[in-house]
Amino acid sequence: MQPTDIQDPDYFHKVVDCQWACPAHTPVPEYIRLISAGRYADAFMVNWKSNVFPGILGRTCDRPCEPACRRGRVEEEPVAICRLKRVAADYKGDVSDRMPPAPTTRNGKKIALVGAGPAALTVARDLAPMGYHLVVYDGDSRAGGMIRSQIPKFRLPEEVIDEEVGFITAMGPEMRLGQRVDSLKGLLDEGYDAVFVGSGAPRGRDLDLPGRQEASENIHIGIDWLSSVSFGHITKIGRRVIVLGGGNTAMDCCRSSRRLGGDDVKVIVRSGFEEMKASPWEKEDAIGEDIPILNFLVPKEFKHRDGKLYGMTFEKVHAEYDAKGRRRLVPTGEPEHFFECDDVLVAVGQENAFPWIERDIGLEFNEWAMPVVNETTFQSTNPRVFFGGDAAFGPKNIIWAVAHGHQAAISIHQFCQGTDVNDRPPPMVTLASQKMGIHEWSYDNGVSLDLRFKVPHRDKVIALKDIKSEVELGFDLKLAFAEAQRCLNCDVQTIFTDKLCIECDACVDICPVDCITFTGNGDEADLRTRLMAPAHDLDQALYVSGELKTGRIMAKDEDVCLHCGLCAERCPTGAWDMERFLIDVAQAENACCSK
């Protein structure tokens, strides 16, 4: 193998698995260290810069970082990254003076943002301090989009939304709330320099089964129902409720029902329990609230009598896989299952809908009636129109909307300044040695052996009485510190300088996870079989040095490295050093700088 090019910003970025997995590339170990140090406001600001909504995401994120966390590969469970984000938000105090002020001068460019959800608000946050005149439209009377309308208050209190949305509205964008955009053509004709569409995926999918029309009084579309609950239009539901669907919306529906009078609530899904789209912890929370999840049942018919729903029938199926691994649900031949109910909530998916976008304004749609959007620049085929969030590529999570927003903001800025939107600004990278003394580091390199701590919950009896009472209480400072100590500091990198190495084997002997080997060079597939410990995880790189004095090379498997720094502590010549790798992924303010 050729020596590893550690100048490539992606190389060490990938080693920080959590940051690499985060769509917005939040510097996770950095903020977790700040939490350990008791610097909650600093930890909040690190988050705020990357993901804009730390308090909201700290309660609701889909956490792509956690399955990626290295801790999950060396013991049972990853660090509770998401809930530590909430700690930063809970204990930050007043950070309003750290927010960029509303600009005093305008740059003369006017941008319309359609929707006041996470994607558009991110664009607004990135562009507002630069002097853009931003106009935000939303059909709802309050900003936040689906964050406000669809996430139940027992998971995300209103004040958290108000505060974090408020940081952005304080930067001076013009908020036209309650004003739905009915025509993109009309908007473009108003002379905006650019338009950002962040209107989400607002249409809940329906189930067209026998009885749907007749019993429609007691059949509700999940996201519309959640939104009505959120805005206080609906305050109760029948005693027996069936929720159809296996995603997070279904989990929110069933748990909301439990709080609005449903005491016999069940979730019924077509697929198997394991394949459900809902996050495992959301399923766990639902089951914890006495909501059974019944699987492999395909809905057949809404049963009604005198216009009143009284139950549903289902066909029992099982999964069969063909040679290509594709799943097919095959009826088992059992008699139909029947469940009594008073209400049904249909949460079987969301769709995009763009009835307000004219088809003759140079904005192409693809075969699935979705706009054609560039995946890097988020520009549509009409160069003045940019998309982001669920509106761009269909339903995803908040963190994806934020990531889209950052990229779209870069593009809008470049477009308005007349530079090429395809010319993306590079990230800024710093690598700094953490050595303080012979065996002292400026990070805490001891490895905690604690297992993952659970977030305390409110007593179930009390929680189920009030739909606005938040279930999760969040870590207290003691638990937060203990959980933060579980982080392995994967951003403090092991840097090897081959010309200093005397091949004494000290690093090989001390490494607790056997990830360092000195051996003859070879191609990667061959090298992976000749290491101290097997290196099967092909997603994780081998760090290979140049040739050493004996003709061998050093090969380090990055997979399970604990970043404990013992290799560097036991190295007599300083061939190993621990250096903090900080990657600052470019945002709109970094674009155009070189022009």
| For other proteins, the closer CB: 316 or 552 | 552
Q: Does 547 bind other proteins (CB under 8 A)?
A: no
Four-point Cα dihedral 175, 179, 185, 189, nearest 10 = -50
Is residue 420 a contact point for other proteins (CB under 8 A)?
no
- Among positions 236, 328, 439, 499, the unique one binding other proteins when judged by CB under 8 A: 439
Name the residue among 14, 34, 19 with its Cα closest to residue 481: 34
Q: Are 271 and 245 in contact (CB under 8 A)?
A: no
Judged by CB under 8 A, does residue 337 bind other proteins? no
CB of 554 to other proteins, least distance (A): 14
Binding test (CB under 8 A) with other proteins, winner from 534, 538, 547, 595 = 534
Q: Which residues lie closer than 8 Å to 310 by C-beta, 6 or more apart?
A: 303, 304, 340, 341, 342
When the beta carbons of 390 and 483 are compared against other proteins, the nearer one is 483
Between CA 284 and CA 99 the distance in angstroms is 37
Least distance to other proteins, CB of residue 204, Å:
43
Told to check if 566 binds other proteins by CB under 8 A, we report yes
Report how far residue 564's alpha carbon sits from residue 494's, in angstroms, rounded to the nearest whole number.
9
Binding to other proteins by CB under 8 A, coded x per residue (else -) over 37-76, reads: ------------------------------------xxx-
> Under the criterion CB under 8 A, does residue 206 sit at the interface with other proteins?
no
Bridge partners (DSSP) listed for residue 330: 318
* Residue 512 touching other proteins (CB under 8 A): yes
Distance of CA 390 to the CA centre of its chain: 13
101 or 572: CB nearest other proteins: 572
Q: Which member of 569, 582, 587, 591 binds other proteins (CB under 8 A)? A: 569
- Sorted by sequence, the CB contacts under 8 Å of residue 29 that are 6+ apart come out as 16, 18, 19, 487, 488, 489, 490, 491, 492
- What character string, x for contact with other proteins (CB under 8 A) and - otherwise, covers 441-480? ----xxx-x-------------------------------
d(CA 366, CA 325): 28
Q: Concatenated DSSP letters for 336-354?
A: PEEEE-SEEEE-S-EE---
C-alpha–C-alpha distance, residues 347 and 221, integer Å: 6
SS3 category, 217: helix
3-class SS shares of the chain: helix, strand, coil, % to 5: 30, 20, 50
Q: Which of 77, 509, 526, 547 binds other proteins (CB under 8 A)?
A: 509
Q: Among residues 353, 504, 586, 592, which is the contact residue for other proteins, using CB under 8 A?
A: 504
Longest C-alpha distance within the chain, in Å?
89
**Listed residue (386, 446, 443) closest to 414, CA to CA:** 386
Q: Pick between residue 165 and residue 566 the one whose CB is nearest to other proteins.
A: 566
Joined together, the tokens standing for residue 340 give 């009594």
| 503 touching other proteins, by CB under 8 A | yes
**Site for other proteins contains 287 (CB under 8 A):** no
Residue 564 lies near other proteins (rule: CB under 8 A): yes
**Residue 82 interacts with other proteins (CB under 8 A): yes or no:** no
Figure out which of the listed residues 416, 571, 582, 588 binds other proteins, where binding follows CB under 8 A: 571
Helices (H), 466-586: 477-484, 506-510, 524-529, 566-569
Distance separating alpha carbons of residues 522 and 478, to the nearest angstrom: 49
Residue closer to other proteins, measured from CB, 417 or 529: 529
User: What is the number of other CB atoms lying within 10 angstroms of the CB of residue 532?
Assistant: 17
Q: Which of 319, 513, 586, 592: binder of other proteins (CB under 8 A)?
A: 513
Specify the residue for token string 């003859």: 520
CB 544 within 8 A of CB 554: yes
d(CA 198, CA 396): 13
Mark the segment that binds other proteins (CB under 8 A) among 145-153, 224-232, 389-397, 499-507. 499-507
Residue 214's closest CA among 310, 312, 307? 307
Residue 548 found at the interface with other proteins (CB under 8 A): no
Number of chain residues interacting with other proteins (CB under 8 A)? 33
User: For other proteins, which is the closer residue by CB, 471 or 568?
Assistant: 568
**What mask of x and - would describe binding to other proteins in positions 236 to 275, judged by CB under 8 A?**
----------------------------------------
Q: Which stretch binds other proteins (CB under 8 A): 239-247, 418-426, 453-461, 511-519?
A: 511-519
Which of residues 99 and 508 has its CB atom nearest to other proteins in the complex? Answer: 508
DSSP-derived letter for residue 104 is S
**Best CA proximity match to 533, nearest among 556, 501, 549:** 556
Q: How far is the CB of 433 from other proteins (least distance, A)?
A: 16
Measured from the Cβ of residue 564, the count of other Cβ atoms closer than 10 Å reads 21
Kindly state the smallest distance separating residue 566's Cβ from other proteins, in Å: 7
- Based on the shown chain and the rule CB under 8 A, indicate whether residue 572 belongs to the binding site for other proteins: yes
Report if residue 495 touches other proteins, rule: CB under 8 A.
Answer: no
Q: Does 300 bind other proteins (CB under 8 A)?
A: no
- For position 510 contacting other proteins by CB under 8 A, the verdict is yes
Rounded Cα distance, 270 and 37, in Å: 47
DSSP β-ladder status, 516-519 and 553-557: antiparallel
Tokens standing for residue 187:
């908007």
Which span sits near other proteins by CB under 8 A: 122-130, 396-404, 474-482, 563-571? Answer: 563-571
Rounded Cα–Cα distance for residues 354 and 188 (Å) = 16
**520 contacts other proteins (rule: CB under 8 A):** no
Contact range with other proteins by CB under 8 A, out of 59-67, 293-301, 417-425, 503-511: 503-511
| Beta carbon nearer to other proteins, 430 or 550 | 550
CB 333 within 8 A of CB 210: no
Nearer to other proteins, 362 or 534 (CB): 534
User: At 251, which helix (H) or strand (E)?
Assistant: helix 248-259
Verify binding: residue 334, other proteins, rule CB under 8 A.
no
Shortest separation between residue 565's beta carbon and other proteins, angstroms: 9
Q: Which positions touch other proteins (CB under 8 A)?
A: 73-75, 439, 445-447, 449, 502-506, 508-510, 512-515, 533-534, 549-550, 560, 562, 564, 566, 569-573
